[in-house]
């Protein structure tokens, strides 16, 4: 079974040992899905191991003249359905285990959305806030120097993730093109528009999540104006989604970033909060009129306190493993939409299910980002670029179709939505792998 991967994955990451492998925990979700789908032993065997993992050292000349060496990773978990696809994150806690877990999730996310991609992911152990912009540029270009033979528009395609953005993606595309001696836009998505990026890519993760929420909550007779929402994570995805929900009439009562959060039972004016965060780099409960902002009544809370608020909808939009067996019993929300990757452990999943809390998984909810990345890749290859309206129409159609298909699987099999999502993606992966021939095929012939 899939859980057999755990020893190999833990052993592979000797420099950053952890008591529990994130990938082993992530793969536990498949055990339940396998009860509701027939899949060949060949496919299970292939999905038990990442196809390729690369660890690199990246020497960077710092502004003060010193040389510092950073560790970077790139993992291609599976490419049966197409080239690997996945972001690159910059974070001091990046590990090979984490990157492999993220690549694993991307494999199923792309299959679930029926995109012609496999799953991949990358990362560098670094706190980018401690580097100058010039140092970040040299680090980004240096990373591509080391992995250039591992990536490509038909092999493995990069994208932004935690603490990376369109500018960094532009540097990476430019460096790869220099190495290959030809302009290669399709090796990276999430680029600036002027370098071949797609309209709507910056907001795609949030926009896709918004479409999912708008489809799901009416099934439970939730009315926006009477629905309270708490969002952990006020970066690009979390802040954009908060504003979309605010304008749709939802009452956003709490938001947080890495430093902590704010809670206002009567609701927050999200555009004002977002404007203040952009100008001051801190979250405050404010209401702004033109350039004047007034503090409104609120309570300062921690990220952990936000997770346990008595709200209708909880949206983890920060990092993985935020809800575990330790705090899952304290969760009071009725519905959880995972905008972050892997914010809920498998052990916490069981607790939440037993409490009757409906969890909508990351591989569906945050798939808007990779979907519009696919659109960007297609546009790069065709040399034909779409308007923002066209991109959002295509994204809406895709997200709604796969949300409805996942919901139907859940209802038919009487299983939770996460299991249904894995059944949906696993079926497509299994079919692609079996098309290359299975044991039964070779015995029969």
pLDDT one-digit tens code per residue, 269-325: 999 888 878 777 777 676 766 666 667 777 888 999 999 999 999 999 998 889 999
Strand partners, 114: none
- Helix H or strand E segment including 390: helix 388-413
Question: What integer is the mean pLDDT of 392-411?
Answer: 97
- Helix H or strand E segment including 228: strand 228-232
User: 32-36, 96-100, 127-131, 292-296: lowest mean pLDDT where?
Assistant: 292-296
- Is the pLDDT at 435 greater than 80? The verdict is yes
pLDDT at 290: 61
Please write the tens of the pLDDT for every residue from 207-257: 999 999 999 999 999 999 999 999 999 988 999 999 999 999 999 999 998
pLDDT at 9: 35
Greater confidence (290 vs 8) lies with 290
The answer to whether the CB of 366 falls within 8 A of the CB of 203 is: no
Q: In what order do the strands lie in the sheet with 313-316?
A: 299-301, 260-263, 251-257, 228-232, 313-316, 335-337, 358-360
The residue among 346, 349, 369, 345 whose CA lies nearest residue 359 is 349
The Cα 113–Cα 95 span in angstroms is 27
Greater confidence (329 vs 289) lies with 329
Question: What integer is the mean pLDDT of 84-89?
Answer: 96
Of the pLDDT bands very low, low, confident and very high (cuts 50, 70, 90), residue 183 is very high
User: 44-48, 323-327, 413-417, 425-429: lowest mean pLDDT where?
Assistant: 44-48
Question: What integer is the mean pLDDT of 377-384?
Answer: 96
The Cα 420–Cα 203 span in angstroms is 26
CATH H superfamily, domain 204-362: NAD(P)-binding Rossmann-like Domain (3.40.50.720)
The Cα 187–Cα 185 span in angstroms is 6
Of the pLDDT bands very low, low, confident and very high (cuts 50, 70, 90), residue 10 is very low
What Cα–Cα distance (Å) separates residue 48 from each residue in 7, 34, 79, 442? 11, 13, 14, 22
Establish whether 85 is a catalytic residue.
Answer: no
pLDDT at 139: 98
Please tell me the class of the 2-184 domain: alpha beta
The Cα 171–Cα 148 span in angstroms is 13
The Cα 422–Cα 427 span in angstroms is 8
- Is the pLDDT at 18 greater than 60? The verdict is no
Greater confidence (327 vs 8) lies with 327
The Cα 111–Cα 235 span in angstroms is 26
Percent of the chain with pLDDT over 70: 92
pLDDT at 35: 85
Which DSSP letter does residue 117 get?
Answer: -
The answer to whether the CB of 442 falls within 8 A of the CB of 434 is: no
Question: What integer is the mean pLDDT of 395-404?
Answer: 97
The residue among 154, 140, 139, 150 whose CA lies nearest residue 50 is 150
Which is the catalytic residue, given 121, 251, 277, 427?
121
The answer to whether the CB of 219 falls within 8 A of the CB of 242 is: no
pLDDT at 7: 34
Using DSSP bridges, classify how beta strands 156-160 and 67-78 pair: parallel, antiparallel or unpaired: unpaired
The Cα 59–Cα 11 span in angstroms is 25
What residue spans define the domains of the chain? 2-184, 204-362
pLDDT at 379: 97
pLDDT at 278: 78
Helix (H, G, I), strand (E, B) or coil at 332: coil
Which tokens is 298 given? 């609120």
Of the pLDDT bands very low, low, confident and very high (cuts 50, 70, 90), residue 445 is low
pTM value is 0.88
Of the pLDDT bands very low, low, confident and very high (cuts 50, 70, 90), residue 60 is very high
């Amino acid at each position: 079974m899939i859980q057999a991967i755990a020893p190999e994955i833990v052993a592979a990451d000797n420099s950053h040992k952890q008591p529990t492998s994130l990938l082993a925990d992530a793969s536990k979700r498949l055990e339940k899905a396998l009860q509701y789908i027939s899949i060949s032993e060949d496919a299970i065997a292939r999905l038990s191991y990442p196809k390729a993992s690369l660890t690199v050292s990246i020497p960077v000349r710092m502004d003060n003249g010193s040389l510092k060496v950073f560790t970077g990773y790139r993992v291609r978990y599976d490419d049966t359905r197409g080239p690997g696809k996945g972001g690159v994150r910059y974070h001091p806690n990046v590990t090979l285990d984490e990157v492999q877990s993220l690549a694993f999730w991307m494999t199923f996310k792309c299959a679930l959305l029926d995109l012609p991609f496999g799953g991949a992911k990358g990362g560098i152990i670094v706190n980018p806030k401690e580097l100058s912009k010039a140092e970040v540029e040299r680090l980004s270009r240096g990373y591509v120097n080391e992995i250039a033979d591992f990536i490509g528009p038909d092999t493995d395609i990069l994208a932004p993730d935690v603490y990376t953005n369109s500018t960094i993606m532009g540097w990476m595309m430019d460096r790869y093109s220099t190495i290959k001696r030809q302009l290669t836009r399709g090796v990276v998505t999430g680029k600036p528009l002027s370098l071949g990026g797609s309209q709507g890519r910056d907001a795609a993760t949030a926009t896709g999540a918004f479409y999912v929420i708008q489809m799901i909550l009416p099934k439970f007779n939730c009315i926006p104006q009477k629905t309270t929402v708490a969002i952990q994570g006020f970066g690009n995805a979390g802040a954009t989604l908060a504003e979309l929900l605010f304008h749709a009439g939802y009452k956003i009562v709490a938001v947080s970033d890495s430093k902590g959060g704010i809670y206002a039972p009567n609701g927050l004016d999200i555009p004002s909060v977002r404007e203040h965060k952009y100008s001051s780099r801190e979250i405050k409960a404010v209401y702004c009129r033109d350039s004047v902002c007034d503090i409104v009544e609120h309570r300062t809370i921690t990220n952990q306190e936000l997770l346990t608020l008595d709200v209708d909808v909880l949206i983890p939009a920060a990092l993985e493993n935020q809800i575990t067996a330790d705090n899952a019993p304290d969760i009071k929300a009725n519905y959880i939409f995972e905008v972050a990757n892997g914010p809920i452990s498998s052990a916490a999943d069981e607790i939440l299910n037993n409490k009757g809390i409906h969890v909508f998984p990351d591989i569906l909810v945050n798939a808007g980002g990779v979907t519009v990345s696919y659109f960007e890749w297609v546009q790069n290859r065709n040399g034909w670029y779409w308007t923002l309206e066209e991109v959002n129409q295509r994204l809406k159609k895709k997200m709604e179709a796969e949300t409805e298909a996942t919901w139907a699987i859940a209802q038919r099999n009487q299983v939770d939505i996460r299991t249904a999502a894995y059944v949906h993606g696993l079926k497509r992966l299994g079919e692609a792998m079996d098309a290359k021939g299975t044991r039964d095929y070779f015995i029969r012939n």
